[in-house]
Structure 1
Amino acid sequence: MKSYEVNFDGLVGPTHNYGGLSYGNVASQSNSQQSSNPKEAALQGLAKMKALMEMGFQQGVLAPQERPDVAALRRLGFSGTDAQVIERAAKDAMPLLVASCSASSMWVANAATVSPSADTADGRVHFTAANLNCKYHRSIEHPTTSRVLGAMFADQKHFAHHAALPAVAQFGDEGAANHTRFCREYGEAGVEFFVFGRSAFDTRYPAPQKYPARQTLEASQAVARLHGLSDDGVVYAQQNPSVIDQGVFHNDVIAVGNGEVLFYHEDAFLETEQMLAELQGKLAKVGGQFQSICVPRSAVTVEDAVRSYLFNSQLLSRPDGSMLLIVPEECRGNERVWQYLQGLTSSGGLIREVKVFDLKQSMQNGGGPACLRLRVALNETELAAVNPGVIMTAPLYGTLTEWVDKHYRDRMTENDLADPQLLLECRTALDELTQILKLGSVYPFQIN
């Protein structure tokens, strides 16, 4: 039976803005308060989805969140009509209104951790929504995320869904941004690689000093248990605290893996040699041949990696066994990174080609090509069980671009977030989107 890695890209929401909410995310903070272009952001993301679909890759789309999140503001004591809630929040606590309007859910690499059926004890694809509790504006995402994923992967014969982990610091979980899977074929048993920034209970693990480590070892272990993964099919590794303090807030900003290959920066991990040996040994037990590509700091510094998002790229397998790297335009704009990539593709190794995409609207908020997608490995039967409304096709691409053109603004500032009309625009757009994607009622305004 054939199997595929399907990339489900997040659709950028109508309130896309640069709120500068994410401490530790250099791009997010440095572009804070600039005006954004929600329409351009959504169209840039859709263009990437269409391009990958046309290259022959399986591609899906994941709907955005309802924003502003009026219910979240009500839980914080704001009352009255929806318009009054927004007005009072804008007057008394503008940072909370900005947080309730965050469009960070577009980075669906943080939406959940996914384990394919070949790895799990019950032979189903498992999803655990990430609690994202390190940041308030992201911690409010997982209830809607769970409903959307449930509507996309509804067949309980093939798919299992778990609630987010407890919303406490000890179980900080950032989803697939700190999770990679290695395998010979997507439908075969593999090794799931969990990267953590700190341990909540074990003081042997050093912690960063400047920026928070968002993923805990304990959260990763809990997800592995929920998904029914075997000890032989899991490797845990600690991210280097010093790179977190340089702005590497997720592992997917410093490393990316696919198939049997890990592409990583020399400074990405602690105990690197031990980790590589464990990955090699465990993958060999299931018939795989682990390979690694280390980018030396002498060629690309951590600062280069953070500014260009070289590692926040999509590493995709092509039919001939070679790999394609999808990178943001910022990689071409960094002389050292681009020189490295030219040498990499001409060396005759596994990564044979680099394709560049303009994702400026996403990049300015601190997310590149890999942030925009959630990878789900599916066999033919499982793929057929996915809600067909979310699988990208040429007609769906046309419909979604028309939908964006109809509903999205082309400029957004902090002051615009206080406009009650924006909430009506967003709800009208999302109500239509759920019909386009055949999701049913997944948003609070549709349910309550």
Structure 2
Amino acid sequence: MALREINFDGIIGPSHNYAGLSFGNLASTKNAGQVSQPRAAALQGIDKMRANLALGLAQGIFLPNARPNRSWLAELGTDYEHADAPLAAAAMSASSMWAANAATVSPAPDTSDGRCHLTAANLRTMPHRSHEWPGTLAQLKIAFADPAHFRVHGPVPPAFGDEGAANHMRVTSKHGERGLELFVYGVTGGAFPARQHLQASKAIARLHGLDPDRTLFVEQSEEAIAAGAFHNDVVAVANENVLFAHELAFADRAGLVGFCESRLPGFELVEVPAAEVPIGDAITSYLFNAQLVTPPDGEMTLVVPTEARETPTVWSWIERHIAGNGPIRRVEVVDVRQSMANGGGPACLRLRVVADPATVDPRFIVDDAKLDKLAEVIRRTWPIDIDNADLQKPSLATDVEAARTALLEALDLTELA
């Protein structure tokens, strides 16, 4: 069985809007009330996936969840048309597009039963995300249904917050070989809520059957959280034997590096000093919320948003690193401005799964032809723009629901309706 990394991107849904629901996410708060462009946003996401395919990477998709979430509103004793504005906005949220929060993934080489384990994230900290997991779990159970190769877990009980792979990293010599799993958690009491709880991370490690000697729980620095790093993937990303991180990412940098160096020959830390790239610049540009990938040609590549190129300190650091002898050999720039304006960069939009693509339900795997098909549906059915003042209009809800139905039909996934 040929294991390789597959990036599953969340298709940006037809209800994409800027309601400013995510406290602690500086971009989401800054752009609250702006007019969104769901059609342009989704097509930007499609183009990002095309760029990944052009690099030779395996590419998958997750679909938007049903919006507005009428069943969730019914549980709260109301409906979309009569809910107060914040509740209606939460029910219409398109945040499932950020597939890095869909689940935590442990590849088969790391687990005690030799299967790839996926645990859906409960996302309990933010109301607009807390109702995502049933729709996400339904997709995970279909995409990874083969019991010989996968085990899909429901979310950790909501007593403990879990935000998925955005707070989880893996370092290894090669994707298909045994690795070290790093769970990053926050401590409450700072300027913003810590979304990933230590006990949630420990529960996932137990559920996945991970070797305790090859599993580390790492505290995110309070300085990073206070600066707007609401998830670890805003200040750090790993790929194979490389950990790419900001100097201020972790509370115990030395302990993390010592753990990795003692267990993984060839481990390499690529650290960006705060003196060269202030943490504020790193966060607003999403330098670390990039895809760090290894294409078939072996040249480790950093896929960054256009905002990274437009931030002088960040782009200068990237150019110096690429010109030197560091492990990151190439940089690719993608336009995901609509997602960025809501606080999600290239890494937010994807969930990494190491598996044999042949073991995944083929409806969730894409090539250029399938992306052409998806783009046609999006151009035909996605709203051009959404003004927050129109969020509770019945006509918008009808349009959003019809657009998602068209996508499900195009992919032959109507069981998710």
TM over 0.5: yes
Unmatched tracts of structure 1, length 5 or more:
79-84, 199-206
Residue type matched to 1:215 in 2? Q
Q: 1:86 corresponds to which residue?
A: 80
Displacement after TM superposition at 1:414 (Å): 1.3
Partner of 1:36: helix, strand, or coil?
A: coil
Q: How far apart, CA to CA, are the structure 1 residues paired with 2:412 and 2:6?
A: 19
Q: Does 1:313 align with 2:290?
A: yes
Q: 2:87 corresponds to which residue?
A: 96
Q: Which of the residues 334, 338, 352 maps onto 1:361?
A: 338
Q: 1:202 corresponds to which residue?
A: none
Q: 1:117 corresponds to which residue?
A: 108
Unmatched tracts of structure 2, length 5 or more:
none
Q: Does 1:430 align with 2:410?
A: no
The CA deviation string for residues 104-144 of structure 1, in whole angstroms up to 9 with x for no partner, is 11001000001111111111111100000000100000001
Q: Indicate if the aligned counterparts of 2:14 and 2:404 stay in contact, CA closer than 8 A.
A: no
Q: 1:396 to 1:320 in 2, by over 3 A?
A: closer
Q: 2:174 corresponds to which residue?
A: 185
Q: Indicate if the aligned counterparts of 2:405 and 2:414 stay in contact, CA closer than 8 A.
A: no
Displacement after TM superposition at 1:197 (Å): 0.6
Q: Indicate if the aligned counterparts of 1:181 and 1:192 stay in contact, CA closer than 8 A.
A: yes
Q: Which of the residues 219, 226, 229 maps onto 1:248?
A: 229
Q: How far apart, CA to CA, are the structure 1 residues paired with 2:413 and 2:156?
A: 24
Q: Indicate if the aligned counterparts of 1:208 and 1:244 stay in contact, CA closer than 8 A.
A: no
Q: How far apart, CA to CA, are the structure 1 residues paired with 2:71 and 2:388?
A: 20
Displacement after TM superposition at 1:2 (Å): 3.0
Q: 1:150 corresponds to which residue?
A: 141
The CA deviation string for residues 172-229 of structure 1, in whole angstroms up to 9 with x for no partner, is 100000001111121111111110012xxxxxxxx45210110011110000000111
Q: Does 1:282 align with 2:238?
A: no
Q: Indicate if the aligned counterparts of 2:18 and 2:33 stay in contact, CA closer than 8 A.
A: yes
Q: How far apart, CA to CA, are the structure 2 residues paired with 1:362 and 1:208?
A: 29
Q: Indicate if the aligned counterparts of 1:389 and 1:436 stay in contact, CA closer than 8 A.
A: no
Q: 2:377 corresponds to which residue?
A: 403
Q: 2:60 corresponds to which residue?
A: 60
Q: 2:391 corresponds to which residue?
A: 417
Q: Indicate if the aligned counterparts of 1:43 and 1:401 stay in contact, CA closer than 8 A.
A: yes
Q: Does 1:346 align with 2:323?
A: yes
Q: How far apart, CA to CA, are the structure 1 residues paired with 2:263 and 2:220?
A: 20
Q: 2:97 corresponds to which residue?
A: 106
The CA deviation string for residues 364-417 of structure 1, in whole angstroms up to 9 with x for no partner, is 0000000000000013xxx21211112111210110000001111111011222
Q: How far apart, CA to CA, are the structure 1 residues paired with 2:72 and 2:210?
A: 34
Q: Indicate if the aligned counterparts of 1:208 and 1:242 stay in contact, CA closer than 8 A.
A: no
Q: Displaced runs of 4+ in structure 1, greater than 4 A?
A: none
Q: 2:190 corresponds to which residue?
A: 209
Q: How far apart, CA to CA, are the structure 1 residues paired with 2:395 and 2:143?
A: 29
Q: 1:75 corresponds to which residue?
A: 75
Partner of 1:210: helix, strand, or coil?
A: coil
Displacement after TM superposition at 1:436 (Å): 2.8
Task: Give the number of aligned pairs.
Answer: 417
Partner of 2:22: helix, strand, or coil?
A: coil
Q: 1:81 corresponds to which residue?
A: none
Q: Does 1:373 align with 2:350?
A: yes
Q: How far apart, CA to CA, are the structure 2 residues paired with 1:320 and 1:44?
A: 25
The CA deviation string for residues 138-174 of structure 1, in whole angstroms up to 9 with x for no partner, is 0000001000111111111211111101112xx1100
Q: 2:366 corresponds to which residue?
A: 392
The CA deviation string for residues 248-271 of structure 1, in whole angstroms up to 9 with x for no partner, is 100000001000000000000011
Q: 2:45 corresponds to which residue?
A: 45
Structure 1, 423-432 or 331-340: larger mean CA deviation: 423-432
Displacement after TM superposition at 1:320 (Å): 4.3
Q: 1:436 to 1:152 in 2, by over 3 A?
A: farther
Structure 1, 317-326 or 410-419: larger mean CA deviation: 317-326
Residue type matched to 1:196 in 2? Y
Q: 1:174 corresponds to which residue?
A: 163
Partner of 1:88: helix, strand, or coil?
A: coil
Q: How far apart, CA to CA, are the structure 1 residues paired with 2:368 and 2:332?
A: 21
Displacement after TM superposition at 1:437 (Å): 2.7
Q: How far apart, CA to CA, are the structure 1 residues paired with 2:135 and 2:263?
A: 36
Residue type matched to 2:375 in 1? T
Displacement after TM superposition at 1:422 (Å): 2.4
Q: How far apart, CA to CA, are the structure 2 residues paired with 1:107 and 1:66?
A: 15
The CA deviation string for residues 24-82 of structure 1, in whole angstroms up to 9 with x for no partner, is 0000000000000000000000000011112210001110111111111111111xxxx
Q: How far apart, CA to CA, are the structure 2 residues paired with 1:387 and 1:377?
A: 14
Q: How far apart, CA to CA, are the structure 2 residues paired with 1:366 and 1:62?
A: 19
Q: How far apart, CA to CA, are the structure 2 residues paired with 1:15 and 1:209?
A: 32
Partner of 2:109: helix, strand, or coil?
A: coil
CA RMSD of aligned residues (A): 1.2
Q: Indicate if the aligned counterparts of 2:383 and 2:400 stay in contact, CA closer than 8 A.
A: no
Residue type matched to 1:132 in 2? L
Displacement after TM superposition at 1:354 (Å): 0.9
Displacement after TM superposition at 1:440 (Å): 4.2
Q: Does 1:229 align with 2:218?
A: no
Displacement after TM superposition at 1:243 (Å): 1.2
Q: How far apart, CA to CA, are the structure 2 residues paired with 1:58 and 1:191?
A: 22
Q: Does 1:293 align with 2:273?
A: no
